[in-house]
């Protein structure tokens, strides 16, 4: 059994569409996003550390300056979390392996309808 840090367990059940159950918050949706700057740094680290999944440079150029949505995430092994990213209709499923410490770069974005 692998050890999963506490902060990872807290983020484990986050998904692209987190709905609040409070009656006054029924009109809110929360998305987990990563800015392009943080994505570029995490992707460069994944390539440098020879992780299994990273985003190819041509795709990084195509999404330059945009944020991505974390649609799903799960522990990949003892030291990595695998992120499934949505970057628009052209790139609906990008995979990126990141260190657990890099999960702090995921930002919740609350939207009201």
Buried/exposed code over 42-53 (b: 16+ C-beta within 10 A; e: otherwise) = bbebbeeeebeb
pLDDT in tens, the chain (113 residues): 444 444 544 454 454 445 555 555 567 889 999 999 999 999 999 999 999 999 999 999 999 999 999 999 999 888 899 999 999 999 999 999 999 999 999 999 998 87
Domain boundaries, the chain: 6-11+28-108
In this predicted structure, what is the pLDDT of residue 38? Answer: 96
108 DSSP β-pair partners: 32
Which pair of structure tokens corresponds to residue 103? 């999960």
CA atoms within 13 A on the CB side of 25: 9
């Amino acid at each position: 059994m692998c050890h999963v840090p506490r902060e990872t367990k807290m983020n484990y059940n986050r998904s692209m569409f987190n709905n609040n159950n409070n009656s006054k918050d029924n009109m809110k949706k929360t998305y987990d996003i990563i800015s392009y700057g943080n994505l570029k740094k995490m992707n460069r680290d994944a390539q440098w550390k020879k992780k299994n999944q990273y985003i190819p440079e041509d795709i990084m150029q195509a999404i330059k300056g945009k944020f991505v949505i974390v649609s799903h995430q799960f522990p990949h092994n003892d030291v990595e979390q695998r992120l499934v990213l949505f970057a628009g209709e052209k790139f609906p499923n990008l995979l990126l392996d990141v260190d657990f410490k890099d999960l702090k770069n995921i930002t919740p974005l609350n939207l009201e309808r």
